[in-house]
Chain A
Amino acid sequence: MSTPPLLRIDALGIDLPVDGEPRTVVHRVDLGIPEGAAVALVGESGSGKSLTARSVLGLLPRGAHVHGEVLFAGESVPRMRPERLRTFRASEVAMVFQDPRAHINPARGIGDFLIEGLTTARGVPAAEASRKVTAILREVGIPDADRRMRQRPHELSGGLLQRVMIAAALAAEPRLLLADEPTTALDVTTQEEVMAIIGEARRARGLAMLFITHDLELAAAVCDRVPVMYAGTTVEELPADRLRGRASHPYTRALLASRPSVSDAGAELRSIPGRPLSGFEVPDGCAFSDRCPHVRDLCRNERPEPGGFVEDGTAACHFPHPLTSEETGSHA
């Protein structure tokens, strides 16, 4: 990469107090997002991907301890003072949350929610803020914006409410959009619409995005690069187009092999043996060693570093899957 990335997460670790005891829930996350690029952080629930996204906003629960570094345009987010953190959240990074029904105050109006970021955090006059968000509502596919502004959250469908959340995020004119499973709470047809809206808004604004998802297909479809997380660690980082069949880490490969396929609908669904671990349950060696089909002694004793460049990416694995000539050829 020639230009320095807009966001760089370097060996990020997060400890959270669980029953008063600090527990490491995120061990090591490394990723970078260049200006205008889209990165999908993929992982199962409990892998620490939402916490990673929140650490970009400095929005971790009370008592959380962060090590490593989160750099936004060269500035360290964990070291920001409260006032700087506030202006940073108000203007540089915006987050779209998973469940708009819970993440939009149910007791306040839609218009109120939309303009709040501008009026209270940036001191924009209410009338000007209203004009601005009304225009953005139309852009995200809400035609009767004026009427919606006067409604309450419970009067809107989930899909519509998620558009409102996206509009609120865009209104802040951020440089980076954090999208934490923005379609998981929606039904399938609405999911596509919402992804299309996010895609268009990004293109129109040259907006960078960190997209949190457990959906590999979706990750590959909308993003340029895909870091994969397992039990609090980014185990692999690779370009989205290599995700299909050419991943190096056994976990990524196993995850891809477990997807249901339309073309092979009769086949039994494959699953990864064992159960997914939470960050704090990880043994000394490789987090995936208990479930890995290729495990050797070294894997159980020594945690692999994310070095080991494999083609255009990294894999935190002692024995990354070698690319066969057939596989390298298929995508040339």
Chain B
Amino acid sequence: MSPRFVVARLGMLVVTLLVSSLAIHGAMFLTPGDPATLLVGGSRNPDPAVLAQIHREYHLDDPFIQGYWHWLGNCLQGDFGKSLVYRDSVAALIGDRAGTTLALVVYASLLVLAAGTVIGTVAALRGGRTETLATTVTAGAMAVPTFVMAVLLIWLFAVRLAWFPVYGSGEGFTGTLTHLTLPAVALAMTWIGYVAQVTRTAVRAELRSEHVETARSRGVPERTVIRRHVLHNASGPVFAVSGVGIAGIIATAAVIEQAFGTGGLGALMIEAAAKQDMAVVQAVSLVFVVVFVVINTAVDLISAALDPRAARKGAR
């Protein structure tokens, strides 16, 4: 991996973040009415004195770019402003809820990685009926929307069978685990299907490839051929799609947090949007965008380290 590639990717990361932060900040000005009204929580008859104070605090009378820089500078220092709805600093609100979301996302990501790659690999290596079955089931998993999956899982495992709690985020490690299992499964399902399909295709392609024929022609034991040539070479695309999957999980976490009432950043954002608490919406959006973009960049860089050819293609 050339230093030029790393620098180019990191440069792209910064540019993406700048552009998206600009969009997030600008969205406040695109909404009809006075941004200050949004910041107080959109009440019908705001006190003019309060509005004036907000104008000062949020530098709303400054030219747009200047206001943006001011906001961005504060965000970079961890100061996301104050939520007027919750009467608390936005940073504290985020801090309180980030743990649950992190646990949910990590749980779901592990499920995606483990189940997706294992199902895909077994399907490709076994072939025949196993492969047909795996393809059908994973295609089904991909087709069901996350919120429908959430309702189905709650109905079956929480209501009918009562194996898992219906609501909340639980206390302690085991509590969190039991409370987050259904949300994590619901969140992971689509991406398990995706990763399994990509894994199956990649492993299939490698099994048929010429370099695998070479390895076999040299008397390399079949297990070694599978490990060193088939799985090693298939790991590139699988890793790449898993990265996109994890980023996608972060993006859809809000739906699941709302459906299962686990609380968390996504739920916070939905509530804040409903109450027009713009400072919170902006800050949470920014956090999501940063995590999403950072994960994508990390996936790119790691893919390039795994397979130098990817870096050469990407740098062109």
- List A residues at the B interface (Cβ < 8 Å): 57, 59, 85-91, 94-95, 97, 99, 102-108, 116-117, 120-122, 152, 154, 165, 168, 172
Q: How many residues of B contact A (CB 8 A)?
A: 23
Chain A binding surface, main DSSP class: helix
Q: Across the interface, which residues of A come within 8 angstroms of B216, CB to CB?
A: 59, 89
Flag whether B132 is at the interface (Cβ < 8 A). no
**B211 and A172 contacting across the interface, CB-CB below 8 Å:** no
Contact of B308 among A88, A94, A154 (CB under 8 A): A154
**B215 and A116 contacting across the interface, CB-CB below 8 Å:** yes
Contact of A108 among B210, B219, B220, B228 (CB under 8 A): B228
Give B208's nearest chain A residue, CB to CB.
A61
Give A168's nearest chain B residue, CB to CB.
B218
**A99 and B219 contacting across the interface, CB-CB below 8 Å:** no
**Contacts known (A108-B228, A154-B312); A102 close to B211, Cβ less than 8 A:** yes
Give A117's nearest chain B residue, CB to CB.
B218
**A108 and B217 contacting across the interface, CB-CB below 8 Å:** no
Q: Across the interface, which residues of A come within 8 angstroms of B306, CB to CB?
A: 107
**Contacts known (A117-B220, A121-B221); A97 close to B215, Cβ less than 8 A:** no
Q: Across the interface, which residues of B come within 8 angstroms of A116, CB to CB?
A: 215, 218, 220, 228
Flag whether B209 is at the interface (Cβ < 8 A). yes
**B213 and A89 contacting across the interface, CB-CB below 8 Å:** no
CB proximity of A91 to chain B, nearest CB, Å = 7
A102 CA to B212 CA, complexed, in Å = 10
A165 CA to B217 CA, complexed, in Å = 12
**A104 and B308 contacting across the interface, CB-CB below 8 Å:** no
**Contacts known (A107-B233, A154-B309); A121 close to B210, Cβ less than 8 A:** no
A154 CA to B309 CA, complexed, in Å = 8
A116 CA to B220 CA, complexed, in Å = 8
Contact of A89 among B218, B228, B307 (CB under 8 A): B218
Flag whether B214 is at the interface (Cβ < 8 A). yes
Q: Across the interface, which residues of A come within 8 angstroms of B312, CB to CB?
A: 154
Q: Across the interface, which residues of B come within 8 angstroms of A103, CB to CB?
A: 210-211, 213-214
**B221 and A97 contacting across the interface, CB-CB below 8 Å:** no
**A117 and B219 contacting across the interface, CB-CB below 8 Å:** yes
A108 CA to B215 CA, complexed, in Å = 12
Contact of B214 among A90, A104, A121 (CB under 8 A): A104
**A106 and B218 contacting across the interface, CB-CB below 8 Å:** no
**B233 and A105 contacting across the interface, CB-CB below 8 Å:** yes
**B221 and A86 contacting across the interface, CB-CB below 8 Å:** yes
**Contacts known (A102-B211, A104-B211, A104-B214); A120 close to B221, Cβ less than 8 A:** yes
Flag whether B245 is at the interface (Cβ < 8 A). no
